[in-house]
Amino acid sequence: MAEIATAQVRELLGIPPEKLPRHIAVIMDGNGRWAQQRGLPRIEGHRRGAESVRRVTEQCARLGIEQLTLYCLSSENWKRPREELDFLLQMLQQYMIEQRQRVMEHNIRVRVIGRREGLPEQVLRETDQTVAMSRNNTGLVLCLAINYGGRAELVDAVRGIAQQIKLGKLEPEEINEQTISDNLYTAGMPDPDLLIRTAGELRVSNFLLWQISYAEIWVTDLCWPDFDEAQLHAAIRAYAARQRRFGGLSTI
C-alpha cells in the first residue's frame, strides 16, 4: 500500500513523498453561497459539499496522507436557521451510515472532536458506531470536527488541567505546552501542517486555534462543492514549495 501511495504522489503531484503534509485541516466554506449562486436552496449546497468530502477523503487516503481534519459543524453554527441545522444533522447521520463501507475499504480510521452536548442522540449513536467500527484501521485518520469551537476546546483543556491540580496529580509549575496539548480534544494527533480554506475567506473561524500555530495556509476562491482532487493537488504542491522555518531563519 505504501508503494502505491508513493507512486501516486510522484505521478499525480510531481513531488517526492517526503514533501507531503502529514496532516491537512480544511475549513469547508461556501456551501450556501454555491447554492444561492445557482438559484438553489442552501441545503442543496450542503448535499453537494458532502460529495466533495468523499472525493477529498478518498484522495488523501490514496496519497498516504496521515490525517485529514474537516470542520463539519462549528459551535457557532447553532445560530443558523433551524431547518438548515436539522438538515445538516440528518445529513451527518446519513453520512456516518452510508460511508461505512467506503471507510473500511479505504482503511480509514474515523475520529470525532468537539462537544457532544446538544447533538441529537441518533447522531451520536451512528457516529460512535462508525468510530468504533474503524478503530483498528491503519490508514488515513479522518477527524471530523462536530459541534467544535477552538475557544471551547481551550476552556475544556483548562478545566481538565485545573481538575488534575485539584486532585494533586499536577503542580502548576509543571504545566507546559505539552500539558496543554495533552488535554485538548486532539491529544495524540499531529498538529496540522496545511490548513485549506475555501470560498476566499481569510480567517481561521475559531478552528484548531492552538494546533495551527505553524500551519501553512492555502486559500481558494472556489466554494467547497467545487473543491475536487485537482484543487487538493494544487494545495499540496503549494505546501511542498514553501520553506517551513517554525520561527527560525532560512537556511538558504
Cα–Cα distance measured from residue 33 to residue 30, given in angstroms and rounded to the nearest whole number: 5
Q: What is the pLDDT of residues 204-218, one digit of tens each?
A: 999 999 999 999 999
| Mean pLDDT, residues 23-37 | 97
Cα–Cα distance measured from residue 190 to residue 141, given in angstroms and rounded to the nearest whole number: 11
Q: What is the pLDDT of residues 160-190, one digit of tens each?
A: 999 999 999 999 999 999 999 999 999 999 9
| Mean pLDDT, residues 193-200 | 98
pTM: 0.93
Q: What is the pLDDT of residue 247?
A: 66
Q: What is the pLDDT of residues 101-152, one digit of tens each?
A: 999 999 999 999 999 999 999 999 999 999 999 999 999 999 999 999 999 9
Cα–Cα distance measured from residue 161 to residue 182, given in angstroms and rounded to the nearest whole number: 10
pLDDT-derived band at 12 (thresholds 50, 70, 90) equals confident
Q: Please report, in angstroms and rounded to a whole number, the separation of the first and last CA atoms in the chain.
A: 35
Q: Give the active site residues.
A: 29, 77
Kindly calculate the radius of gyration of the chain based on its CA atoms and give it in whole angstroms.
19
Question: Cell numbers at residue 86, please?
Answer: 436539522
Q: Whose CA is closest to 199, among 24, 25, 27, 29?
A: 29
Spell out the domain ranges in the chain. Answer: 21-149+190-239
Cα–Cα distance measured from residue 45 to residue 27, given in angstroms and rounded to the nearest whole number: 15
Determine which helix (DSSP H) or strand (DSSP E) holds 111, and give its type and residue range: strand 109-113
| Mean pLDDT, residues 67-77 | 94
Question: If one looks up domain 21-149+190-239 in CATH, what number appears?
Answer: 3.40.1180.10
What is the side-by-side order of every strand in the sheet holding 194-197? 109-113, 141-148, 67-74, 23-27, 194-197, 216-219
Alpha helices in the chain (DSSP H): 2-8, 31-37, 42-63, 82-98, 100-105, 121-133, 150-166, 177-182, 229-241
| Mean pLDDT, residues 51-64 | 96
Q: What is the pLDDT of residue 116?
A: 96
